[in-house]
Amino acid sequence: MKLSLYPYRLEFKFPFKIAHGTRTGTDVVFVKIEHKNHVGWGEATLPPYLPETQTSVIDFCTQFAREYANHGLHDWVAGLSNVQTNMSAKAALDMALWNLKANLEGKSIAGLLGIAFTEFPLSTYTIGVSGFEEMQQKIAEATALGFRIFKLKLNGEKDEEVIRNFKKLSSAQFAVDVNQGWKTVEETLANIKWLKKEGCILVEQPLPKDMLAEMRDVKRKSTLPVYADESCQRLSDIGKLRDCFHGINIKLMKCGGITEAYQMILRARANGLKVLIGCMSESTIGCATAAQLTPMADFADLDGPFLIKNDPFDGIEIRQGQIKLKALRQKINIPPQPLL
Ligand code: MG
């Protein structure tokens, strides 16, 4: 088992505005694990609102590899399953191990999990808070890429303008992601009523993540499905969300990889919740890996690679709004970080 680490910065095609601020790119660390002439790639994506950094991911992965230096694949998987911190670093290692295992066995990750790899859900293209012309450019770009459905970021400030602009530019279906930007049950219900009339199909994280008592009220009265994102990080969160949301947004960076994400889908289903598989501006590595779970999901939001202008990998595309996976190919070589 040989581990290599590749710190890199993904640059966005368009600066990305959400409720947390504006960004031009995202730091990542790519993880490669090699074993018996096979390779598995993983990715830790590190948006600035999360606590992990390239340095912390490199430290964590280096220490993990040192601890398991003389162990095989089974022990790496077992050792990682006990990790409860550094979720992005964990996700990168977990992804790399799943991809390695799939390659060793000549299967897909979906195949290893027994997921029928037939129908993929529609994947949304996210439009950060943007003015009319920028939105026009983004819709044109997304439509040319094959997207058929959009996710509009709202922040409670210019929501009506965003929706008005979008409706002038497109008749496509859309969801909204409020990123905790609304303040009260009354505001949320009034906005949902209005958005339903405008043709919105789903509302993500309307209220601050800990306002679960208020969300219970919203769920009872809402005419649109409401999904948890910031309120739902891990498997252990799901039980308390069943009466507050209609669905959850599962991301590998939040829950530490495919292993827990798969368990989260099962638990969400057992609790009557719908499932969206999302991403945090990952490249092709993160999104193509997460896509393996999407035949079990109601929606996908795996647009990361399509928002980036320097993705080092190729392997995912959108046709008729649905994800299609291709053989993974590295387009840009990145110098490895020497292990500490
Ligand atoms: Mg979200």
Q: What's the gap in Å between 288 CA and the centre of ligand 1?
A: 19
Q: How far is the CA of 113 from the centre of ligand 1 (A)?
A: 26
- Compute the C-alpha angle 246/282/208, nearest 5°: 40
pLDDT band at residue 176 using 50, 70 and 90 as cut-offs: very high
User: Where do runs of H (alpha helix) occur along 4-86?
Assistant: 54-67, 73-81
- Residue 153 Cα to ligand 1 midpoint, Å, equals 8
pLDDT in tens, 149-167: 999 999 899 999 999 999 9
Give distance in angstroms: CA of 154 to centre of ligand 1.
Answer: 10
With contact defined as beta carbons under 8 Å apart, do 255 and 235 qualify? yes
pLDDT of the residue at 22: 80
Segment 274-300 mean pLDDT: 96
**What gap in Å lies between CA 223 and CA 108, rounded to an integer?**
38
Distance 272 CA to ligand 1 centre (A): 20
Ligand 1 centroid to residue 179 C-alpha, Å = 6
* Whether residue 127 has pLDDT greater than 90: yes
Question: What separation in Å is there between the alpha carbon of 294 and the centre of ligand 1?
Answer: 17
Tokens (6 digits) for 115: 């997921």
The residue among 133 and 129 whose pLDDT is bigger is 133
Q: Which two tokens stand for residue 55?
A: 């340095």
CA of 11 to the centre of ligand 1 (A): 20
CB atoms within 10 A of CB 239: 11
Euclidean distance between CA atoms 147 and 142, whole angstroms: 5
Q: How far is the CA of 229 from the centre of ligand 1 (A)?
A: 5
The alpha carbons of the chain give a radius of gyration, in whole angstroms, of: 19
Whole-number Å distance, alpha carbon 335 to ligand 1 midpoint, is 32
Q: State phi, psi for 60 to the nearest 5 degrees.
A: -65, -50
Q: Count Cβ atoms below 10 Å from residue 24 Cβ, excluding itself.
A: 11
Q: What is the mean pLDDT of the chain?
A: 95
Q: How far is the CA of 69 from the centre of ligand 1 (A)?
A: 37
Q: What is the pLDDT of residues 88-121, one digit of tens each?
A: 999 999 999 999 999 999 999 999 999 987 788 9
Alpha helices, DSSP H, located in 222-257 = 238-241, 252-255
The residue-averaged pLDDT of 306-326 equals: 95
Q: What global pTM score does this model have?
A: 0.96
Q: Return the structure tokens found at 301.
A: 């939001």
Q: Which residues have C-beta under 5 Å from ligand 1, the single-atom ion? A: 177, 204, 229
Could you identify the residue written with the tokens 């959400």?
18
Question: Is residue 48 helix, strand or coil?
Answer: coil
Distance 144 CA to ligand 1 centre (A): 24
Is residue 19 predicted with pLDDT exceeding 70?
no
